[in-house]
Amino acid sequence: MSKQRGANIISSLDWPVLILYSVLVFMGWLNIYAAVYDEKYTSIFDFGARYGKQLVWIGVSYVIIILIMASNYRIYSVLSYFIYGGIIVLLALVLVAGKESHGAKSWFELGMFKIQPSEFAKFATALALSRFMSAFEFDMKKIKNLVIAVGIILLPAGLILLQPDMGSVLVYFSMIFVFYRQGLSGIFLWLVVMGIGIFVTTLQYELIVIIAALVIVAGIWYLALGKNLINSLIGVGSIIVLSGIFWVVNHFLLHDKFQLHILVVAASAVLVPAVLVYSYIKKDWIASFVMIGLIGCFAVVFSVDFVFHNIMTAHQQTLINVFLGLENDPQGTEYNVVQSKIAIGSGGFSGKGYLQGTQTKFNFVPEQATDFIFCTVGEEWGFVGAVVVIGLFMWLILRIIYLAEKQRSPFARIYGYCVASILFFHIAINLGMTIGLVPVIGIPLPFFSYGGSSLWSFTILLFIFVRMDASRDELL
């Protein structure tokens, strides 16, 4: 790299992002030290301890940043599919040759080091998705393009699910926000949210969900058909009869839930084409949309039991039941969250002081240096410290979105939104786990949680975009 080119990159580098990154990484290191602090071994530069190893990984991260900034920004677009393909191969290999940890086969062990391919798959998927969606002929309104884009996300997510690592899988669904930014109708986002809501609610209130859905659909049907009361009553009545049949079959006739699953799929396969034919004859596509949405809704409702008992692991079932209040397990599944909330609450407004956290010092919270690192912030730095940390994260995300909107290249803009979406999901879910707002699914807090793979993957994810932004005036 020539001196002039290097000077141009340095002058164009977005220093607020670099400073925010450095502050967050430094604060994370201090909190890792506090989380594993032992009065007998006080040296913060003990490279045999977690905080010492993290310091080494931080040093490597800055080497990675220098290498990325010294690279040609064009290689990320040119090599995006090759990087994606390489990661897919690694995700497949880890299922065969990986080391199992906490019930998941997701690590390669190389001597003293462990590498988790699923962490690096995030930026690889973001690159491939950005490359595909930035193509000149790409149109979000075309079903073919939408299916391929979703497939780019689902392929690594499916391989990670086989490990299984549900937390990492869910991160990929954050990229739906990128679809929305690129022109996907907001109704699809709403349908995804509604589907998740129906699934979770049905676990506890199946009959109430069905009744509520029928009431809502009755109103939509009435309005969609031009306030034709007779047609609306016929349509809703048909759905009530269909629901009744499913209800009876589910609770009284079928003992094998797999049979019910097949029945729902078969019924949907018959009903959807029938509705489309009706709509084509009557030229009433609004009714078709409502009907297909309704069939999908009930397919979700009546498939919940099968998915919950046959696809989810016993641990995942317990997590959801505890979260919904269907089970109590204070010494088991709930233990981490209970202790985390105690630690955060005990910090009060200004905290107990650095290295003075009793919950932290006596190791009440398992995984406190990794997934539950934020409870160290809450206990020792209090409400003020927690607000500062959250504020820095939000500032970083908003800065990334601001820079993404300034990009001349669609590839760089889409990638920037992928970065913002992934970071936002990680932060929101991790913080939600520590205070009991979401089930514990085991994903790290970016730049804070202990671990080389996590830190390096987030560093690469972020600074590839920073490198693109440094040359945004050249990007065409």
pLDDT tens, position by position, 276-305:
666 666 665 555 665 666 666 666 666 666
Using alpha carbons, list the distances in angstroms from residue 14 to 29, 80, 106, 400, 402: 23, 23, 34, 10, 11
Cβ contacts of 365 within 8 Å, gap of 6 or more: 336, 339, 340, 343, 359, 372, 375
In the listed set 312, 340, 357, which residue is the last one of a domain according to the structure?
312
Does a structural domain hold residue 180?
no
Does a structural domain hold residue 178?
no
Range of lowest pLDDT (8-12, 343-347, 400-404, 414-418): 8-12
Q: Is the pTM of this model over 0.85?
A: no
Is the per-residue pLDDT at 319 higher than 70? Answer: no
Same domain, 67 and 130: no
Total domains, the chain: 3
- Dump pLDDT digits (tens) for 100-148: 766 667 777 766 667 888 888 999 999 999 999 988 778 777 778 888 8
Does a structural domain hold residue 179?
no
At residue 423, the pLDDT reads 95
Same domain, 283 and 211: yes
Same domain, 308 and 292: yes
Does a structural domain hold residue 173?
no
Tally Cβ neighbours within 10 Å of residue 144. 8
Share of the chain above pLDDT 90, in %: 24
Q: Which residue has the tokens 């998927």?
A: 125
Q: What is d(CA 211, CA 216) in angstroms, rounded to the nearest whole number?
A: 9
Same domain, 321 and 450: yes
Give me the DSSP letters along 185-205.
Answer: -HHHHHHHHHHHHHHHHHHHH
Cβ contacts of 284 within 8 Å, gap of 6 or more: 225, 278
The DSSP 8-state label assigned to residue 13 in this structure reads S
Same domain, 269 and 320: no
Which of 86-95, 181-190, 272-281, 434-443 reaches the highest mean pLDDT? 86-95
Does a structural domain hold residue 201?
yes
At residue 389, the pLDDT reads 94
Does a structural domain hold residue 247?
yes
Same domain, 67 and 78: no
Name the residue among 272, 290, 274, 273 with its Cα closest to residue 225: 290
Same domain, 84 and 144: yes
Does a structural domain hold residue 430?
yes
Which of 256-270, 284-298, 419-433 reaches the highest mean pLDDT? 419-433
Same domain, 344 and 432: yes
Same domain, 447 and 324: yes
Q: What is d(CA 96, CA 99) in angstroms, rounded to the nearest whole number?
A: 9
Same domain, 261 and 230: yes
Range of lowest pLDDT (33-42, 71-80, 291-300): 291-300
Q: Is 361 helix (H, G, I), strand (E, B) or coil?
A: helix
Same domain, 222 and 296: yes
* Residue 58, CB-side half-sphere exposure with 13 Å CA sphere: 24
Is the per-residue pLDDT at 337 higher than 70? Answer: yes
8 A C-beta contact, residue 454 and residue 350? no
Q: What is d(CA 179, CA 152) in angstroms, rounded to the nearest whole number?
A: 13
Range of lowest pLDDT (342-351, 360-369, 430-439): 360-369
Cβ contacts of 80 within 8 Å, gap of 6 or more: 127, 128, 130, 131
Query: For residue 51, what are the domain limits?
Result: 1-71+315-457
Name the residue among 373, 289, 368 with its Cα closest to residue 28: 373
What average pLDDT does the segment 240-262 reach?
A: 55
What average pLDDT does the segment 41-53 reach?
A: 76
Does a structural domain hold residue 176?
no
In the listed set 312, 340, 370, which residue is the last one of a domain according to the structure?
312
Confidence band for 400, pLDDT divided at 50, 70 and 90: very high
Same domain, 47 and 2: yes
In the listed set 149, 164, 179, which residue is the last one of a domain according to the structure?
164
